[in-house]
Amino acid sequence: MIGKIYGTGIYAPSNIMDNHTLAQKVDTNDTWIRERTGIVRRHIIEDDTTVSMASKAAKEALETSQVRAEEVDFTLVSTISSNIILPCVACEVQKEIGAVNATCFDLNAACTGFLFAYNTAQAYIASKIFQTVLIIGAETLSGMVDWTDRNTCILFGDGAGAVVLKGEEGGLFSTVTHSSGKQGAALTCVPGGYIKMDGHAVFRFAVKEVSQCIQELLEKENLSSEDIDYFVLHQANRRIVESVAKRLETDLEKFPMNLQEYGNTSSASIPLLLNQMNRSGLLKKGNKIVMAGFGAGLSWGASLLEW
Ligand code: COA
């Protein structure tokens, strides 16, 4: 059995902070941010929380999947920015949406979180423990950045994305994942503190490891990048995506992006992008997609799926 994506849903706060507004808070400017990152604006919570955003994205994903909340037997939330420690976000979502039959827990793998959550769901589905799975990536990074630190605050935003997976015979799933704790100092945050980052180190790591990891996955499956319709990368920086495309000698058109709209939303970025591709009609049945995540840990990975 392999989990097939039945539907997607998102929630992004309506409050938008563009680069010009941000430049009033910290010493930066629109041109610099666009040129170095591709980011134009980000959505920032006002009344929402990680839990409320996760719940709204989950409801939309269930609706588009035509799956009832009671049918969900596993809810997995990837987040590093919960507004509560106990209970976990997944249990709060369960309560909110009425997924009374679901087993619920959270996962923390930063910006690789959605990818690892997707793989976890696939493992449970393959072993026939769960069959209908709701995966959510939800983040309020606006509460984790120092708004006076221009090295980090320009990059991040808030949002949530969800997908519903149902076990089916056939389909495609393969993955390659890695972690390297010894490089962890490059991207950190202590409780009550702010995200601290060695931007150059993280940039180099992302370009090198993500390209290699995708190559590893393609080789494992005896595929070339020509066989892949879309590469859905974690949305951190336009230049990272461009560099990965270049290393894979693949047309940038196969690398959709929406970081210009949301900034880096950590584990929400891949489902936000998948939803956009799905709703805009870009994705066609049978499309082969490689999703790739990377971030704090350091951790990274790539997974192959068929739409
Ligand atoms: N606005 C204006 N100027 C800025 C700036 C900002 N927000 N941040 C840095 N600068 C300045 C620097 O002071 C430096 O000036 P100098 O040349 O006079 O010393 C210059 O711009 C270049 O800084 P640098 O840090 O070399 O820029 P960069 O091209 O490496 O871009 C990042 C910085 C953070 C955008 C980039 O390193 C990056 O994206 N790294 C990966 C981060 C990431 O994706 N993290 C999450 C992974 S999940």
Using a 6 Å cutoff on CB, does residue 32 contact ligand 1? yes
Using a 6 Å cutoff on CB, does residue 149 contact ligand 1? no
Supply the pLDDT for residue 171: 87
Annotated active-site positions, please? Answer: 111, 234, 264
Using a 6 Å cutoff on CB, does residue 37 contact ligand 1? yes
Q: What CA–CA distance (Å, rounded) separates 173 from 27?
A: 45
Q: How far is the CA of 29 from the centre of ligand 1 (A)?
A: 12
Supply the pLDDT for residue 170: 87
Supply the pLDDT for residue 228: 98
Atom 31 of ligand 1 has which residue's CA nearest to it? 36
> Please, are residues 125 and 96 in contact by the beta-carbon 8 Å criterion?
no
Residue 188 CA, distance from chain mean position = 18
Supply the pLDDT for residue 97: 98
Q: How many helices (DSSP H) and strands (DSSP E) are in the chain? A: 9, 13
Terminal alpha carbon distance of the chain? 15
Atom 47 of ligand 1 has which residue's CA nearest to it? 295
How many degrees, rounded to 5, is the angle at CA 242 between CA 220 and CA 160?
Answer: 80
Local mean pLDDT, 10-residue blocks, the chain (307 residues): 97 98 96 98 98 98 98 98 96 98 98 98 98 98 96 97 96 96 97 95 97 98 97 98 98 98 98 97 96 98 97
Distances (CA, A) of 278 to 249, 274, 298, 305: 25, 6, 30, 14
Name residue 263's amino acid.
G
Q: What CA–CA distance (Å, rounded) separates 142 from 53?
A: 14
Atom 44 of ligand 1 has which residue's CA nearest to it? 236
